[in-house]
């Protein structure tokens, strides 16, 4: 594992994020992995941040609420099948790590593990969260993304470690 600055692989990571990345929340005893495709890497409050959006209906939401750490593991090679599984099954009733043949690896600076074999990793500590407020988003986007409610909670995580393998 090679430590990097948060911005070193940001272009590559954001391009890959569009195809999906693994968001993990929880700790070494109990965690959950889900696929995300929306997120951003930025610099706020004088620190590097990774922002992710999680709908309250996701099992992962509970882990994000109960803990204050999460990791984003970005596959730079193809992990299409595992991303599809972790983006369609819920940890409520499926052991997704086992079903997708994934291996969790201990985080370096946080208790939340990362998904081994991905290539680029961000470990984060939630420093701010907010729920999207109905009526405030661009109407077209709101219609496209929130017809059924389930407005995302947005988690802004300080990137406390970033590394590649
Ligand atoms: C490519 C892809 C991207 C996704 N991105 C997000 C996302 O950014 N936020 C979100 O809440 N759900 C997203 N999902 C849906 C969740 O991954 C999916 O509902 C998952 O089954 C939730 O698992 P959980 O119930 O174990 O948390 C995405 C799904 C796919 C396939």
Interval 69-84: pLDDT, tens = 999 999 998 899 999 9
Q: Look at residue 66 and tell me whether its pLDDT is greater than 90.
A: yes
CA angle, residues 162, 69, 52, in degrees to nearest 5: 75
- Residues near 136 by beta carbon (within 8 Å), at least 6 away in sequence: none
Beta strands in the chain (DSSP E): 2-3, 21-26, 31-36, 39-44, 47-54, 69-75, 104-105, 114-115, 119-131, 153-164
For position 39, what pLDDT does the model report? 98
Spell out the domain ranges in the chain: 2-164
What architecture does CATH give domain 2-164? Roll (2.30)
End-to-end CA distance of the chain: 4
pLDDT at 41 over 90: yes
Q: Which atom of ligand 1 is nearest to the CA of 152?
A: 11
pTM: 0.98
Per-residue model confidence as pLDDT tens digits over 81-126: 999 999 999 999 999 999 999 999 999 999 999 999 999 999 999 9
What the block records as the tokens of 28 is: 């070494």
Ligand 1 mutation pick, 22, 34, 74, 151, max ligand atoms within 8 A of CB: 34
State the Cα–Cα distance between residues 49 and 127, nearest whole angstrom. 9
pLDDT in tens, 121-144: 999 999 999 999 999 999 999 999
| pLDDT at residue 17 in the model | 96
How does DSSP assign 142-156, residue by residue?
A: HHHH-TT--PPEEEE
Residue 78, pLDDT score = 85
């Amino acid at each position: 594992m090679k430590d990097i600055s948060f911005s070193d692989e940001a272009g590559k990571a954001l391009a890959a994020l569009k195809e999906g990345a693994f968001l993990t929340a929880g700790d070494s005893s109990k965690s959950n992995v889900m696929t995300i495709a929306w997120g951003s890497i930025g610099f706020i409050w004088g620190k590097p941040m990774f922002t992710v959006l999680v709908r309250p209906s996701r099992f992962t939401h509970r882990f994000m609420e109960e803990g204050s750490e999460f990791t984003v593991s970005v596959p730079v090679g193809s992990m299409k099948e595992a991303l599809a599984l972790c983006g369609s099954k819920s940890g409520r009733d499926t052991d997704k790590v086992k079903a997708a043949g994934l291996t969790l690896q201990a985080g370096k600076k946080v208790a939340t593990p990362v998904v081994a074999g991905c290539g680029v990793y961000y470990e984060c500590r939630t420093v701010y969260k907010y729920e999207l407020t109905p009526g405030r988003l661009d109407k077209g986007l709101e219609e496209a993304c929130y017809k059924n409610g389930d407005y995302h909670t947005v988690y802004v995580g300080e990137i406390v470690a970033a590394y590649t393998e």
